[in-house]
Amino acid sequence: MKPTRIFTPEKDGFYRAWYPAETKTEKGMIVMLGDSSDDLMASSGAKWLNRQGCHVMAMSPDKKDYGHHSYPLERFGAALAFLKEQGCTKFGIAGASTTGMMALLAASYYPEITLTIAMSPPDFVMEAFYRDGLDGATERPGDNESSVTWQGKQLPYLPYAYRHPEYWQRIREEAKAGGDFTASRKMFDESERRHPVREEEKIRVENIHGKIIFIGAEDDVLWDTCRYIRRMTERLKVKPHYCTAEAWLYKHGTHFVFPESMLRMILPAGSGLFVRLMFKAARQYPKECRRTRVDIDRRLQAALRQW
């Protein structure tokens, strides 16, 4: 599915794509999936949400750029303003992995957002990372740079344990040792060991309004997302807050805790095979991982209907 409009940095300030639902609806979702706002993952996620009765604004750092560095949170405010111009009165946001963090952060700054879906998120602001191929590395950390900014200032972040080129070397070693395509859980654990997360680096989930849905699996090898989700739910128990939260935690599911029918839209000919190629846990427990995705599918559809 192609977007009806693509916003470019040259003409519109930053990159994003508009996917309106075919039916009339007051619900507007901001979504950050994939490397580009108009790639297969983003457009499939938008199509899935369109079917749930939501207009969709897909956002990404740039066209075909999965690096995250100094991303201005004000861009979410601009996306909300556009959704309001389209007649939306309910606003939600969804992200996975790094963009699960972005979704939580955006919702903590914009109280208009009343549904936040965070798949495999951390509970802290991440350090910047680049995907520019420097010295042959697929990914490298930023130098004294946050993944996000607010009002032109870098938000405090958890620094990675390693610098370039050791950063990517460690990720490759961990992936090879575990039989995964990519893995960085040990690196994040080591980052916290060296630099315990400070209060100013944590996401203030207590500022989020409406409903938060945290989704994660224990066998995630990118980072210990279930531990991070539990820390956020514990935080809500002791902080005054404006939201209700649900934590959907699964034993099996890998980093890709997507709704099953959404994943089939992304990869209609081999969604399960793709996950198995990426992660050893999916090869060991394919049925269990699929059951997780089917359950997430059912529950998310119900949550979107109720919203």
Domains of the chain: 5-306 (3.40.50.1820)
Residues of the chain above pLDDT 70, percent:
98
Checking if the pLDDT of 62 tops 90, the result is no
Angle at 271 between CA 269 and CA 274, to 5 degrees: 110
How many CB atoms sit inside 10 A of residue 169's CB?
Answer: 12
Secondary structure of residue 259 in the 3-state scheme: coil
Checking if the pLDDT of 269 tops 70, the result is no
Please give the pLDDT value at position 272.
77
**DSSP strand pairing (140-146 vs 90-96):** unpaired
Mean pLDDT, all residues of the chain: 95
CA 32, CA 25: separation in Å to the nearest integer? 21
- Confidence label for 36 from pLDDT (cuts 50, 70 and 90): confident
